[in-house]
């Protein structure tokens, strides 16, 4: 159960960022520019709205979330779950059950999307496809699809990026799940260079009275 929750949470992921027509229909060139820009971010704070659509069970769910990133560390608030990592350990807190699952970051993140690398995820063994231009939230965007290369174990088969290539920002991300569940993320606020306390990247039991800690580490 924990693996499923965490994959959803991490793949839920989400937040993001992104070139003039001079790059024409070259997906790799545009993504290279995105990587160059993203690597200059010391810290990131972003808010988003998401909608999950379960195609098999005809179920929809909408929510709002926030993510804070500094290097390999992140704090991802998914509403029902809060996923925190200091780069070594991942804490997944279930707000309904008041339980916190503790895992090794390296092992857990291999199964899904690493939020700390969301701005350069395309560098991690994906093939890319330029799909064209369309209007997203009132912005003229480029759509680029990412497909995991040689890895059928991931919980998703396609990532769709919608990039405002004038502002160099990703405004929408759609995760196409293998089990028939798609999740769409729309970025509503994005800031870089914000001051962040290290406490944000550690789970504090004092903030959650009575919390049950379930340590999955070997």
117-141: pLDDT as tens digits = 776 778 777 889 999 999 998 899 9
C-alpha to C-alpha distance for 208 and 218, rounded to whole angstroms: 25
Burial environment of residue 27 by CB neighbours within 10 A (0 to 12, 13 to 18, 19 or more)? buried
Q: Per-residue DSSP letters for 183-195?
A: EEEEEEEEEES--
For residue 103, give both structure tokens.
């895992």
Delimit the domains of the chain by residue range.
Answer: 2-213
Tell how far CA 188 is from the center of its chain. 14
CA dihedral 20, 21, 22, 23 (to 10 degrees): 90
Mean per-residue pLDDT, 88-111: 88
Name which residue leads in pLDDT, 98 or 33. 98
SS3 (DSSP) at 115: helix
Its pTM stands at: 0.74
The proportion of the chain whose per-residue pLDDT surpasses 90, expressed as a percent, equals 37
C-alpha to C-alpha distance for 109 and 85, rounded to whole angstroms: 10
148-177: pLDDT as tens digits = 887 557 778 999 999 998 888 888 989 898
pLDDT of residue 151: 57
Q: Evaluate if residue 1 carries a pLDDT over 70.
A: no
**CB-CB contact of 168 with 18 (8 Å):** yes
**CB-CB contact of 99 with 214 (8 Å):** yes
38-91: pLDDT as tens digits = 878 889 899 988 888 988 888 888 888 899 999 889 999 988 899 999 999 999
pLDDT of residue 189: 87
pLDDT of residue 38: 80
Mean per-residue pLDDT, 189-194: 88
Name which residue leads in pLDDT, 113 or 123. 123
pLDDT of residue 132: 92
Q: Evaluate if residue 214 carries a pLDDT over 90.
A: yes
pLDDT of residue 69: 92
Architecture of domain 2-213: Clam (2.50)
């Amino acid at each position: 159960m924990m693996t499923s929750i965490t994959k959803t949470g991490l793949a839920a992921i989400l937040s993001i960022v992104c070139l003039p027509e001079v790059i024409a229909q070259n997906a790799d060139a545009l993504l290279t520019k995105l990587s160059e820009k993203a690597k200059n971010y010391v810290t990131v704070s972003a808010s988003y709205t998401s909608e999950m659509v379960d195609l098999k069970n005809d179920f929809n769910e909408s929510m709002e979330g926030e993510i804070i990133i500094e290097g390999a560390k992140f704090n991802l608030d998914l509403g029902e779950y809060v996923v925190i990592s200091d780069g070594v350990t991942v804490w997944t807190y279930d707000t309904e059950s008041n339980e916190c699952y503790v895992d090794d970051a390296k092992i857990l993140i291999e199964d899904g999307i690493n939020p700390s690398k969301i701005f350069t995820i395309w560098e991690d063994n994906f093939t890319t496809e330029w799909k064209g231009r369309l209007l997203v939230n009132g912005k003229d965007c480029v759509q680029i699809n990412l497909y995991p290369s040689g890895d059928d174990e991931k919980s998703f088969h396609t990532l769709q990026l919608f990039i405002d290539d004038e502002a160099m920002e990703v405004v929408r991300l759609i995760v196409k799940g293998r089990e028939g569940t798609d999740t769409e993320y729309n970025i509503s606020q994005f800031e870089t260079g914000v001051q962040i306390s290290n406490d944000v990247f550690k789970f504090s039991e004092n903030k959650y009275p009575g919390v049950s800690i379930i340590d999955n580490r070997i």
